[in-house]
Amino acid sequence: EKVQKAEEKVQKAKEEVQKVQEKVLPLKSELLAGLKFEDPIALLQTPGADWDYCGAQELVEELTPIIKQTVENPSDKQERPILLVLSSPGQGKSRFLQELPMLINKTEQVDPADRQLFPFLLTLENGMSFDGQFDTDPDKIVVARMLWQLLRNRRASGWAGLKPNFTFSQLHRAVAETANLIVDDILDAMCEGEQLSAANYSILVALDGMQFLPGFDSPTDKTSLFYKTIRKLCQLTTRDDGPLTIAAMAATVQLGVEFALADSPQKRHYVMLPLVDKVCRNGKAVFNFTGNEVLQLLQSDMGGHGRALEALEDACNDQTLENIDLLKDAVIRNLMDRYPKAVPADFEPILKAALSGQWLKPEAKIGNFDPEKLQLVRLEYNSDRSQRRIRLPYIWILLGVTRKDALPDLAKWSLDGYNEICRGPDAGGLAFEDFCARFRVLKSLCWPPDATVRLSDLHHGAILQPKALRNVKVVNRHLKNAQAKQRMATNCRDFLFGKPRREQPAQKRRVQATLADGKMVDLQDTNDQCSYVFLNAGGAPAADFAVLLQLDGQQGFLTECGQCKQGTAKVDLQNIQDERAKSCDENDFLLIICTDGKQIDQSDLPHMTGIVQQEQWQQYFGPYAGRAFQAFRSSQRQ
């Protein structure tokens, strides 16, 4: 009986082996017969997938020396870079990989007559998710997805023992059960099908969704599939034999990839993904908002974020454009459905870090949040990627303040709503000055009260003179806005005294000032004077707005004077010196905010002076840049 059971067990094992061989042998033999190349399957399947690609020319210029270096150094790790596309979700990683074959061809570094490029665009998403049962090693991961692309037009009829209309899961299993199947087997099959030799073709291997591999959160584990797959892609680029190989990978994790490559001499190039600053489909604008400033602002509030702009297009298809509130609510609803955890309830630390331009080490958190796991944001790195800071679109703020569990105090961060912008021309022509003063109040909230702050950090994004201005430290106050009822002096010595005419000295009596609710401001105490941004009365021969700042360490006071230069207003060295003369004492700080480009460099600025020109708006105003522009336009419509 025991012998019979043993024989039955052996027979069953043979049957299992036969079943595997029935799957394996056809697959191997079919590969030997060759496969024709098939174009990649689209990696992006969202509503904006057919938008015209933004930033192509800039990317071609960026990639040209990289591809040239790859072509000219066939097997040197230190000279053949791997392309790394690392960003938070929804920033355009998949779309970039999808456009990469076109971009490479436009660099004209890979001669199609000599080395025709065959792109393989692979993904761990879109129905081809990682499966630990089948994706047991890097070759299995890459081979299954390469085959799925090459079999694009053979699925209906079946292939290698797989029934007609087989699924990726079925192919996945067949690849996993085929022993010793490697990337070279797929390339050999393509060479046979296309009648190629290794010397006369090149390949692009791009893998999207690396963050879905086991071990991405433990990148120093050299046994993990995440680590091994990164190394596999690197090895493909530096082989002595086989085709010229360009490799690219995309992931939402910067640190994981960095750690995995830490001890590798492999050269790497980090791709800076473009913002979607122009939304067109076949050359035609998707959003026809010409002449409607509020709708133009709503589009600007998406911050060039592809997913947010897709939500806007969906909302425009479902809502009338006449009701801005309904349209805005539809955008927020669409984004909440797609990104329910995009903005945490306590989002202030993140917003403060963004507004202050705070540089962080890659491993540093913002409050309790890992920046790499935030959605609808953009991480910006310094040149050696040793530090980074966060960029937010305004829609991110709106998502935060409209959360059901949002604290009422958070509403202040929304600054101007769309209805306020719809209210029409600004009768006094001071809308831009008023906006800049209110924005300065928001800036003060980025640091704790009584914290020591560098003046250069308070005005991150501006061009400052001298560079040593970063060593000027002041005591931060959480400011409020106040309106001077009479023309006032803004220099420190005469601060808040009346100054009706430039040619006369300041009067020795203080002006009156009111808050937004009409209450009078107590100006007798110096501490109270340091608690407000004072918007000057119209036509004052001094700064448009000013703040009295206490120097750190009880070293006295200085004033920060803001002067707005709108439209074609002249700005040159003489003009800036004149502004300082009427607004500042020698050691006061003057910030000039221009609404267009003035071609002013740091060397053109006098001591203790800064300037924000149109080119610096995004850096200085951050997510509020669109509102600053609308405030300027309102001033012009008086």
Predicted confidence at residue 465, as pLDDT, reads 87
Predicted confidence at residue 637, as pLDDT, reads 57
* Residue among 490, 480, 543, 470 at smallest CA distance from 514: 480
Q: Of the ranges 69-78, 182-191, 241-250, 519-528, which one carries the lowest mean pLDDT score? A: 69-78
Please compute the mean of the pLDDT values over residues 261-265 and round it to a whole number: 81
Predicted confidence at residue 115, as pLDDT, reads 83
Prior bond of 408 cis (ω within 30°): no
Please compute the mean of the pLDDT values over residues 407-411 and round it to a whole number: 80
pLDDT of 266 higher than 60 = yes
Predicted confidence at residue 560, as pLDDT, reads 98
Please compute the mean of the pLDDT values over residues 407-430 and round it to a whole number: 71
Please compute the mean of the pLDDT values over residues 324-347 and round it to a whole number: 89
- Cβ atoms of 489 and 477 within 8 Å: the answer is no
Give the per-residue SS3 of 146-162.
HHHHHCCCCHHHCECCE
**Is residue 407 very low, low, confident or very high in pLDDT (cuts 50, 70, 90)?**
confident
Please compute the mean of the pLDDT values over residues 251-274 and round it to a whole number: 85
Predicted confidence at residue 331, as pLDDT, reads 94
* Residue among 356, 390, 32, 68 at smallest CA distance from 191: 32
Query: Rounded mean pLDDT of the chain?
Result: 88
Please compute the mean of the pLDDT values over residues 467-494 and round it to a whole number: 91
Percentages of the chain per state (helix, strand, coil), in multiples of 5: 40, 15, 45
pLDDT tens, position by position, 131-146: 999 999 999 999 999 9
**Is residue 489 very low, low, confident or very high in pLDDT (cuts 50, 70, 90)?**
very high
List, in order, residues 6 or more apart from 475 with CB less than 8 Å away: 450, 451, 452, 453, 530, 549, 550, 551, 552
- Distance of CA 500 to CAs 494, 508, 591, 622, Å? 13, 12, 22, 35
pLDDT tens, position by position, 617-635: 999 999 999 889 888 887 7
Structure tokens at 208: 């999207």
Predicted confidence at residue 345, as pLDDT, reads 82
Please compute the mean of the pLDDT values over residues 540-548 and round it to a whole number: 96
pLDDT tens, position by position, 561-594: 999 999 888 899 999 999 999 999 999 999 999 9
pLDDT of 238 higher than 90 = no
% of the chain exceeding 90 in pLDDT: 59
pLDDT tens, position by position, 168-184: 999 999 999 998 899 99
pLDDT tens, position by position, 44-94: 988 899 999 999 999 999 999 999 988 887 666 677 889 999 988 888 999
- Cβ atoms of 497 and 489 within 8 Å: the answer is yes
DSSP annotation string for 577-608:
HHHHHHH--TT-EEEEEESS-----GGGSPTT
Q: Of the ranges 4-18, 212-226, 265-279, 544-558, which one carries the lowest mean pLDDT score? A: 4-18
Predicted confidence at residue 61, as pLDDT, reads 96
* Residue among 159, 634, 210 at smallest CA distance from 423: 634
Neighbours of 587 (CB within 10 A): 14
The dihedral through the CA atoms of 430, 436, 437, 442 has a sign that is positive
Q: Of the ranges 97-101, 250-254, 471-475, 555-559, which one carries the lowest mean pLDDT score? A: 250-254
Residue in this structure with the two tokens 């995009």, named with its chain if needed: 342
pLDDT tens, position by position, 426-477: 555 578 999 999 999 999 999 999 999 999 999 999 999 877 687 899 999 9
